[in-house]
Amino acid sequence: MLVATIAGCGKKDGGDSSSSEGSETFKIGGIGPLTGPAAVYGIAVQNGADLAVKEINEAGGINGKKVEFKMEDDTHDAEKAVNAYNTLKDWGMQMLMGTVTSDPCIAVEAEAEADNMFLITPSGTAVDCIKGGNAFRLCFSDPTQGIKAAEYIGEHGVGKKIGVIYDSSSSYSKGIYENFAKEADNYGLEVVAAEAFTADSNKDFTVQLKKIKDAGADVVFLPIYYDETALILKQAKDMDFDTTFFGCDGLDGLLSVEGFDTSLAEGVMLLTPFAANAEDELTKKFVADFDAAYSQTPIQFAADGYDAIYAIKAAAEEGGITTDMSASDICDALVTSMTKIELKGLTGTISWADDGEPDKGPKAAVIEGGEYVMK
């Protein structure tokens, strides 16, 4: 097995990753929400990927060839994601890093499978995001997030009586909740109330919170995104509901919601493989370079994008791909080589099975003083 360690040795002021010197380049496409309510995720992935591509090009590229990276906006919409995919195909895409969110990824993966286009999603968690034999995942799947959340809450004594608020119109949210509920009994957890909402009713959560409070929940599990979570935390405070809130990767971005009082997030816990204040050298350098490039502290999704590009690099070098290969031939080579590499990345030490799922240890963080602190 090839063990790939991210060197992180690129200069902070590297060239634009959307162009490269010479005509022989590898073209990696990206798709995600760069505008709209989920833009925090897509922009973070784009920035992390851009930083990785700059580093890789400055270090000599992939198999001696430079990399071009082009990101298209899908606004977290499946139809627009397919349009973005076709735009990238017209551009000459040979590999795809995306999409960022689950429902668009499912739609794009169907197209990519038909084309035999290699796909690695940095953060698409629904099972069907990597349904085809051409696709891999960097993050945990929805079932795994639900299972690991139950495991963490049970083994770390976070609470016993669990209330859940989930989005029944979202494959991401529903998938995590269903697997959490199945696993809860194995860790002595009782789901005392499970309250749903939909994309058409995601502004007022007072009814759900009251039912959960009346049921005596000591933990509220939130397998949802950060924008709804910000509203839930405000409404819980208004009704004097003081409890522990626990979420998954969709909560990352909560602290950057415009107008949100971050003190409301104090003590919120979430499964996340990355915290910007970690003390390992790779994270410290990434955070410093990211801040220098974008004047921001990176969230988990930035680390996901960064690691996904380095996974492509490691697999491409293991498979010996060349720029003159067709996208289909590149896909065949990468599918084989992905199962032979081990990436020591920002989000953990990762290897991949034949089904495209990552093998890495789960981590959790708590928000303290406006920062994620690994537990």
Q: What is the per-residue pLDDT across 174-201, written as a single tens digit (0 to 9) for each?
A: 989 999 999 999 999 999 999 999 999 9
* Lowest pLDDT segment from 13-27, 100-114, 237-251: 13-27
Prediction pTM value: 0.81
pLDDT over 70 at 9, yes or no = no
* Residue 15 scores a pLDDT above 70: no
pLDDT, position 23: 53
Residue 75 pLDDT > 90: yes
Distance CA 267, CA 78 (A): 34
* Cα atoms found within 13 Å of the Cα of residue 333, Cβ hemisphere only: 20
**Strand ranges (DSSP E) for 206-274?**
219-222, 244-247, 269-271
Distances (CA, A) of 85 to 76, 104, 236, 257, 312: 13, 10, 40, 29, 18
